[in-house]
Structure 1
Amino acid sequence: MGIQGIDLSLIWGVIIAFGVMMYVIMDGFDLGLGILFPLIPDAKERDVMMNTVAPVWDGNETWLVLGGAALYGAFPLAYSVILEALYLPLILMLCGLIFRGVAFEFRFKASPEKRHVWDMAFIGGSLLATFSQGVVIGTYIAGIPVVDRQFAGGSLDWLAPFPLFCGVGLIVAYALLGSTWLLVKTEGMLESRMRLFTRPLAWLLLAVIGVICVWTPILHPDIATRWFAHAHLAVFGGLAVLALLAMFGLLKTLRQRHTHWPFAFTLMLVFLGYIGLAFSIWPNIVPPSISLWAAASPATSQLFILIGALFILPIILMYTVWSYYVFRGKVRIGDGYH
């Protein structure tokens, strides 16, 4: 509990969860473009794909920086344990983000003969960053062993079947986000190709979700108890029903050739999965044993950084909304932002 009855740890937990969710959603379709790149051989269509996010891609990663900085300031114990457990996949993720960031800047400046090098950097960086993020999520869900407030596992604990499967699953999810984003932002042959790719990606994601929903309670008895407890059954049952409705809406609006609704339903699927994860591990910030309050920094420190966050968050939200508003609409061949 914080100062004068205000639960600062809970407030910071919500802020960090919101920041991570914004990153997953906004950088998800951005990374998804790189995952889809090998399926689009035409150089001009690749230019269009990159131009759909060129004005906003670097701003999307602001949310990742916010989440990491907030975790360090508000929950230093969780920060130290998670980083020690996941150093290697996190470093690989950052390497992937660096490769694709460099590719964004250099691809449009390269000669046509050299452009394929930066295409490969964009593809490889996107796949590596996405897979690493999925491995981090899978390891986090599976649980991080802690003894005497220190990480008690090995440096390669993340090399396990469940985290690796989550890495592949996140590649599918981001590819679906990318394909539905391109339905919103492109037209002509590229839009038709994305409509063709979206349907199998949606079914594949549904299969991935099904496997994770079966595997998770087997792997983690605490989560199984929570899922099937009478008090929580309605919540998780409701999330499952909403996810099926979102999938139905996605497939239906694809058949009806809508441009925006498939993306909206895909965002709903990702959001519902994120909410399900939050309910599954609550109130732990390092599952299965460290709660928000056990990992919290002193209340005075949390309050001090909260004052700064209350100024920074509205600014980030405003420039994010404004940038997407300014660059709204379809992107066509010949349009460019470099």
Structure 2
Amino acid sequence: MNALVHTSWLSLAAAGTLAFAVLMYVLLDGTDLGVGVLFVSERNPKHREIMIDTILPVWDGNETWIVLGGGGLIAMFPPVYSALLTAMYPVIFAMLFALILRGVAIGFRSEATARAKARWDAVMLTGSTMAAFCQGVLVGSLVQGIRTARGTYQGGPWDWLGAFALFCGVALALGYAWLGASWLIWRTEGSLQQRARRASLALGTATAASTAIVSLWTLHLNEYYARRWTDDSGGVALPVAVFVFASLAAGFVYGIARRRAFAPLVFALIWFVFALFCVLYTIFPLVLPPSITIAQGSSPPRTQAFVLGGTSVLVPAVLIYSTFAFWVFRGKVTSARRPEQ
């Protein structure tokens, strides 16, 4: 609470802006990555064409959010950026390389022969899975803590390589695949939709189990996290979180059972929104656990004000563009109704 009192509204607004950029990236490009991860179980070339076509008009625009988040982190929280990049550069570079692979695969497969498409599909699967896994490792490493002193990273290049971070990588890859399968339920029909429905139920179950394991594991990482969910909230926060997750799971299963097209995706997206909220609640007011708070990691107020002024224009513009793209390419995607290459 004392740290919150000494945190300026500019720093809180900056942190909120970065959190929003991360959330939008996870919801949008996380879904696209999930579609790529699902290539592991889809052997039908026609189905793979349709799967790619569902994300073809929007995937590159969805990546805008990671650029916005990364740029905002450099400008508004430079000590955090410096320590995070130093601690996690193998993971960050692997993630960026994987995103490049994914983009190259999407671009080149449309012009490839049938045999070459199979190779590009393998690249698509590899890039999507690697990117999803690396992002989960980043989140896990952030939560378990990055050792710093006076804003400088004090660990080695492989300190992130721990069981918790690696499990978070697997959990997020499963979660993205769940988003991708739920997306395909909404955007496709016929046999592909039925396969997506079955996959979504299985992946949703795996994601729920992974979320429970990560949550319990997090409470045992350090006393501060456990206190945030018990003493600081009067013992209310943890039961409320369990109730919300259980309600979302029930709503998702109901949507699957009633063969709804859009409801499973809605509940999956809300699940991720609430999961991110729980992560932020756990570490707040820290921005880089275990020692750097939002106030300590902030850039000068004038810098934050300048950057926030720019994002106040960029964020609505990106939202309008994304909404317009989704509206233009709305509806079911079939082999007879495909977006322009």
When the two structures are superposed, what TM-score results if normalisation uses the length of structure 2? 0.96
Any idea what SS the aligned residue of 1:69 has? helix
Deviation string 1:64-107 (CA, Å, 9 cap, x unpaired) is: 00000001111111110111111010100001100010000000
Q: 2:50 aligns with which of 28, 48, 51?
A: 48
Structure 1 312/230 Cα, relative in aligned 2: closer, same or farther at 3 Å?
A: closer
Q: Aligned partner of 2:69: which letter?
A: G
Q: Give the gaps of 5 or more residues in structure 1.
A: none
Q: Aligned partner of 1:337: which letter?
A: E
Q: What are the within-5 Å matches in structure 2 for residues 201-216 of structure 1? A: 201-216=203-218
Q: Aligned partner of 1:124: which letter?
A: T
Is residue 253–residue 262 contact of structure 1 (8 Å, CA) maintained in 2? yes
Q: In the comparison of the two structures, how many residue pairs are matched?
A: 335
Matches of 1:328 and 1:216, distance apart in 2 = 39
Is residue 89–residue 136 contact of structure 1 (8 Å, CA) maintained in 2? yes
1:187 aligned residue: 189
Instruction: Tell me the CA shift for residue 297 of structure 1.
Output: 0.8
Q: Aligned partner of 2:137: which letter?
A: V
2:276 aligned residue: 274
Is residue 134–residue 170 contact of structure 1 (8 Å, CA) maintained in 2? yes
Q: Aligned partner of 1:74: which letter?
A: M
Is residue 31–residue 126 contact of structure 1 (8 Å, CA) maintained in 2? yes
Any idea what SS the aligned residue of 1:17 has? helix
Q: 1:64 aligns with which of 52, 63, 66?
A: 66
Deviation string 1:23-51 (CA, Å, 9 cap, x unpaired) is: 01101110001110121111111000000
Instruction: Tell me the CA shift for residue 220 of structure 1.
Output: 2.3
Q: Give the gaps of 5 or more residues in structure 2.
A: none
Matches of 2:102 and 2:138, distance apart in 1 = 19
Is residue 230–residue 236 contact of structure 2 (8 Å, CA) maintained in 1? no
2:143 aligned residue: 141
The answer to whether 1:337 aligns with 2:340 is yes
Instruction: Tell me the CA shift for residue 151 of structure 1.
Output: 0.5
Matches of 1:27 and 1:233, distance apart in 2 = 35
Any idea what SS the aligned residue of 1:59 has? helix
Q: Aligned partner of 1:299: which letter?
A: P
Matches of 2:138 and 2:270, distance apart in 1 = 22
Matches of 2:325 and 2:214, distance apart in 1 = 35
Instruction: Tell me the CA shift for residue 153 of structure 1.
Output: 1.0
1:217 aligned residue: 219
2:75 aligned residue: 73
Matches of 2:206 and 2:169, distance apart in 1 = 14
Q: Aligned partner of 1:66: which letter?
A: L
Q: What are the within-5 Å matches in structure 2 for residues 106-125 of structure 1? A: 106-125=108-127
Any idea what SS the aligned residue of 2:155 has? coil
The answer to whether 1:239 aligns with 2:241 is yes
Is residue 57–residue 339 contact of structure 2 (8 Å, CA) maintained in 1? no
Matches of 2:269 and 2:88, distance apart in 1 = 27
Instruction: Tell me the CA shift for residue 6 of structure 1.
Output: 6.3
Matches of 2:199 and 2:36, distance apart in 1 = 14
Any idea what SS the aligned residue of 2:21 has? helix
Structure 1 279/246 Cα, relative in aligned 2: closer, same or farther at 3 Å?
A: same
Is residue 31–residue 174 contact of structure 1 (8 Å, CA) maintained in 2? yes
Instruction: Tell me the CA shift for residue 231 of structure 1.
Output: 2.3
Deviation string 1:146-199 (CA, Å, 9 cap, x unpaired) is: 112210111101110000000000111001000000000000000000111111
Matches of 1:231 and 1:206, distance apart in 2 = 24
Matches of 1:256 and 1:307, distance apart in 2 = 46
Q: What are the within-5 Å matches in structure 2 for residues 1-338 of structure 1? A: 7-229=9-231, 231=233, 233-334=235-336, 335-338=338-341
Any idea what SS the aligned residue of 1:285 has? strand
Greater mean alpha carbon deviation, residues 213-222 or residues 49-58: 213-222
Instruction: Tell me the CA shift for residue 15 of structure 1.
Output: 0.3
Is residue 253–residue 261 contact of structure 1 (8 Å, CA) maintained in 2? yes
Is residue 46–residue 335 contact of structure 2 (8 Å, CA) maintained in 1? yes
Instruction: Tell me the CA shift for residue 237 of structure 1.
Output: 2.3
Matches of 1:84 and 1:193, distance apart in 2 = 42
Matches of 2:237 and 2:14, distance apart in 1 = 23
Any idea what SS the aligned residue of 2:236 has? helix
Q: Aligned partner of 2:299: which letter?
A: S
Q: Aligned partner of 2:78: which letter?
A: P
Matches of 1:62 and 1:221, distance apart in 2 = 37
Is residue 226–residue 232 contact of structure 1 (8 Å, CA) maintained in 2? no
Matches of 2:40 and 2:164, distance apart in 1 = 26
